[in-house]
Amino acid sequence: MHHTIDLPSLLVRNCEWIVTQNARREVMHKGSILVEDGVIRQVGNVSGSADKEVDGSGKIALPGLINAHTHLSMTLFRGYADDMLLQDWLAKKIWPLEAKLSNEDCYSGALLGAVEMIRSGTTSFVDMYFHMEDVARAVAKSGLRGFLSYGIIDLFDTAKSSRERANVQKFYEYVRDLGNPRVRFVIGPHAPYTCSAEMLQWSKGFAEKNNTMIHIHVAETRREQADSQKQHGMRVVEYLDKIGALSKNMLAAHCVWLTKSEVKLLAKSEVKVAHCPVSNMKLASGGVAPLPEMFDAGIPVALGTDGAASNNSLDMFETMKICALIHKAHRWDPTVLPAQKTLDLATIEGARALGVDQEIGSIESGKRGDVILLDANAPNLRPLHGVETVVSDLVYSASSGNLDTTIVDGQVLMENRIVTSLDSAEVCAKAQERATRLVS
Ligand SMILES: [Zn+2]
């Protein structure tokens, strides 16, 4: 990342605990964090002062969480259509509303999602939707770190295909001209069943040429696998492999319905996975993504919420807990996804899946200053038994309600539970107005 703007320095003083997520997964007792020009310079015993100070006493500091798959503007559809079959949900409720979405709706929904993420400790996220220029505008205003993709859908139609390529190019140039280091372009072919082979291949080439991620939905449902068998005579990942679409730049969301040989194919091509356990459970996608097999194959896995219409929150604390629980329940094995591994998925492993683990995902000198603080004195976090249990407490006992402060690039976006980068009440009121108009 090239940061050209001088950012004010920040000192987070005297934290009770610092969960660094560094290579040794070190948890420090009592320490401070100094961020200069957006970059963490010192952790632990800090000498010197800063433009701004935040009191870390009685707080647990951890790296800002990474939501690796969402559709931010879909916050407008939150709670609008629950408890439905996936196909009915899409065809009867979501698609008719999406057809009516204006760019200002998407802007308003993105701001609502941004406020929710700031309040629940997410500092980086990977998005896919429409009207992405407006989402980018909202993200820039919010102070969050966004990896944004325009959702390409060509439905195997060549005329639509060339329009979509033009849309991608337009958004690419918009992000480039925006010149905001926290807003990054990602290419987003929606799925193998909504994009032609040519579009998937073109996306791969575009990603290689411009050094970006490819954000895509893969093997979300059993039906998708059955349709692939019918249409291509092979499974989804086998098809992607055959047409040469798999790539080390690919971040594949869901990957619920995979065989062991498909897991191996993903690993061979160095594909990364964004696991969305809550959405998969709520839409009853069936099955559980084979995370232990992915870990064994060496596939970097990140965690995501998916859009708020199918979750219905963007809360990564909730996602971490549910993720750990579903894999234990599914495998009859409480050791299958320990708290430390689960926190890894939402932080440093998530960063690795996004290809940005040199920049974010841990509290270490040289990383971007993305830090969140939780109130360690909250009743649901007491007693604290010490350094060995802090990570367990974060995954199983904590909730986003314990969040006190959210910092991105050393800039405070929320302090004492008050969002400072956006007007929370105004954002909520506008989103309510937009959503009411949309469904009427
Ligand atoms: Zn999705």
Express as a percent the part of the chain with pLDDT over 90: 92
- C-alpha 292 – ligand 1 centre gap (Å): 22
- C-alpha 397 – ligand 1 centre gap (Å): 27
Confidence tier at 405 by pLDDT (50, 70, 90): very high
- For 304-357, the pLDDT digits (tens) are 999 998 899 999 999 999 999 999 999 999 999 999 999 999 999 999 999 999
Confidence tier at 247 by pLDDT (50, 70, 90): very high
- For 248-279, the pLDDT digits (tens) are 999 999 999 999 999 999 999 999 999 999 99
H or E element that contains 137: helix 132-142
Q: Is the per-residue pLDDT at 162 higher than 50? A: yes
pTM over 0.85: yes
Q: How many whole angstroms separate alpha carbon 11 and alpha carbon 321? A: 30
Q: What is the arithmetic mean of pLDDT over 382-389?
A: 92
Residue 53 CA: distances (Å) to CA of 8, 46, 228, 374, 401: 11, 12, 55, 16, 23
- C-alpha 157 – ligand 1 centre gap (Å): 22
- C-alpha 128 – ligand 1 centre gap (Å): 8
- C-alpha 156 – ligand 1 centre gap (Å): 20
Q: What is the mean pLDDT of the chain?
A: 96
The CA-based angle 293-282-235, given to 5 degrees, is 45
Q: Is the per-residue pLDDT at 9 higher than 90? A: yes
- C-alpha 306 – ligand 1 centre gap (Å): 5
- C-alpha 307 – ligand 1 centre gap (Å): 6
H or E element that contains 265: helix 260-268
Q: Is the per-residue pLDDT at 5 higher than 80? A: no
Name, in order, each residue with C-beta under 8 angstroms of 52's C-beta and a sequence gap of 6 or more: 8, 9, 10, 11, 412
Residue 286 has what pLDDT? 80
- For 181-203, the pLDDT digits (tens) are 999 999 999 999 999 999 999 99
Residue 85 has what pLDDT? 83
- C-alpha 148 – ligand 1 centre gap (Å): 13
- Judge contact between 368 and 1, C-beta under 8 A: yes
Q: What is the arithmetic mean of pLDDT over 226-254?
A: 98
H or E element that contains 424: helix 424-439
Residue 11 has what pLDDT? 98
Buried/exposed code over 193-218 (b: 16+ C-beta within 10 A; e: otherwise): bbbbbebbebbbebbeeeebbbbbbb
- C-alpha 337 – ligand 1 centre gap (Å): 23
Residue 1 has what pLDDT? 47
Confidence tier at 87 by pLDDT (50, 70, 90): confident
Q: Which of 116-125, 189-198, 257-266, 280-289 has the lowest mean pLDDT?
A: 280-289
Q: Where do we find the tokens 């708020």? A: 308
